[in-house]
């Protein structure tokens, strides 16, 4: 039994990442989905028409992931955020956000393993995903560390506002865009600040990568558009008429996504942020990014 699980996991991962490679190549060759047709017909959100947004009520389960909370707030996942089947939620992510089927199997399956539950039989409540140093980790961009704020279900708005205010890009119509450089700079600030303010701070190499993966969705699926990000991160709502900015037929594969994740993680320079801080003579909380 002890030997079988790692062997099964090894072959499962080999299969997922081989298939991901095939999907990545197919995406390069196939024409993109037309604007306005990313969410498949018949699924909530098709043509940009998302079901009514209802903020969470007392007793509803929410987690540290804005994307999953948004689906619950629109009733695409159960509004109370409870009793979600692991194997039913991947296809919902696939259709709502246009992530590839590989991601939509791998992440929920990882979450099931992390919670020691069965991917094919069990259910979870959103708040269970906040198991510290499972997928949830310190130095997030939209949450205080769980040692300081145990309920991770709501965004920490000062961080969100600071992140969005740090956007330096512009699209061709002059709208504000968050860039890879902005995301790396704000991540460096959060890591330095969190290390100073959280006595229980920890951030392993794999959690650094998780962090950059989570935040890279803001540039890929959300396209870095600050106006959309504000609605998504502040209210955990999908903007009226919104659709994923990823229009490849098979959705966002690990192969394509990891290019952005690598650039974001590689660009995080905590030392440079600390040196800037020292020059300004300020403390970590007030220095500009």
Given the rule CB under 6 A, which residues bind ligand HEM? 63-68, 93, 97, 99, 107-108, 111, 129, 135-137, 140-143, 211, 214-215, 217-218, 221
The C-alpha atoms of residue 131 and residue 115 are separated, in whole angstroms, by 8
Q: Are strands 169-170 and 123-124 parallel, antiparallel or unpaired?
A: unpaired
Nearer to ligand HEM, 101 or 217 (CB): 217
Residues ≥6 apart with Cβ < 8 Å to 65? 126, 129, 214
Q: Closest CB to ligand HEM among 141 and 178?
A: 141
Comparing CB distances to ligand HEM, the nearer of 150 and 282 is 150
**What minimum distance in Å lies between the beta carbon of 59 and ligand HEM?**
20
Residue 77: which of 99, 50, 102, 46 has the closest Cα? 50
CA–CA separation, 246 and 249 (whole Å): 9
Closest-CA residue to 149 (of 168, 123, 130): 130
282 Ramachandran zone, left/alpha/beta (phi>0; psi -120 to 50): beta
Looking at the Cβ atoms of 70 and 287, the one nearer to ligand HEM is: 70
- Cβ at position 108, least distance to ligand HEM in Å: 6
- Looking at the Cβ atoms of 65 and 287, the one nearer to ligand HEM is 65
By beta-carbon proximity to ligand HEM, the closer residue of 23 and 93 is 93
Reference 216, options 272, 285, 266, 288; nearest CA is 266
Residue 276 Cβ, how far from ligand HEM at the closest point, in Å? 21
Q: Distances in Å between the alpha carbon of 25 and those of 15, 33, 69, 125, 240?
A: 16, 16, 32, 35, 32
What number of CA atoms fall less than 13 Å from residue 280's CA on the CB side? 14
Q: Which bin fits 236, alpha (ψ -120 to 50), beta or left (φ > 0)? A: left
State in angstroms the smallest separation of the CB of 126 from ligand HEM: 9
* Minimum gap (Å) between residue 64 Cβ and ligand HEM: 4
Tell me whether residue 67 or residue 178 sits nearer to ligand HEM (CB atom). Answer: 67
CA distance 187 to 289: 9
Cα torsion 231, 232, 237, 242 to 10°: value is 90
| Nearer of residues 234 and 275 to ligand HEM, judged by Cβ | 234
The closest of 73, 80, 105, 82 to 92, measured between CA atoms, is 105
CB of 136 to ligand HEM, least distance (A): 4
Least distance from ligand HEM to the Cβ atom of residue 153, Å: 11
Q: How far is the CB of 140 from ligand HEM (least distance, A)?
A: 3
């Amino acid at each position: 039994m002890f030997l079988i699980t790692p062997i099964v996991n090894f072959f499962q991962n080999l299969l997922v990442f081989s298939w991901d490679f095939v999907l990545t190549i197919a995406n390069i060759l196939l024409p993109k989905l037309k604007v306005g047709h990313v969410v498949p017909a018949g699924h909530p959100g098709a043509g940009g028409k998302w079901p009514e947004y209802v903020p969470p009520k007392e007793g509803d389960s929410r987690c540290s992931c804005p994307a999953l909370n948004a689906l619950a707030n629109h009733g695409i996942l159960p509004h109370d955020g409870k009793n979600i089947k692991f194997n039913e939620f991947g296809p919902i992510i696939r259709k709502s956000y246009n992530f590839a089927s590989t991601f939509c199997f791998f992440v929920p399956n990882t979450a099931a393993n992390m919670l020691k539950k069965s991917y094919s039989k069990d259910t979870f409540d959103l708040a269970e995903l906040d198991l510290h140093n499972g997928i949830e980790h310190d130095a997030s961009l939209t949450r205080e560390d769980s040692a300081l704020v145990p309920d991770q279900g709501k965004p920490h708005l000062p961080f969100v506002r600071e992140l969005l205010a740090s956007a330096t890009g512009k699209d061709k119509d002059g709208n504000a865009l968050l860039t890879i450089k902005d995301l790396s700079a704000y991540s460096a600030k959060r890591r330095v600040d969190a290390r100073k303010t959280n006595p229980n701070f920890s951030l392993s190499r794999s959690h650094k990568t998780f962090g950059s993966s989570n935040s890279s969705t803001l540039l890929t699926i959300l396209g870095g558009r600050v106006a959309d990000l504000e609605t998504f991160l502040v209210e955990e709502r999908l903007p009226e008429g919104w659709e994923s900015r990823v229009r490849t037929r098979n959705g966002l594969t690990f192969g394509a996504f990891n290019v952005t994740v690598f650039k974001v993680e590689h660009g995080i320079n905590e030392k440079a942020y600390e040196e800037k801080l020292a020059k300004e003579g300020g403390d970590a909380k007030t220095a500009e990014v």
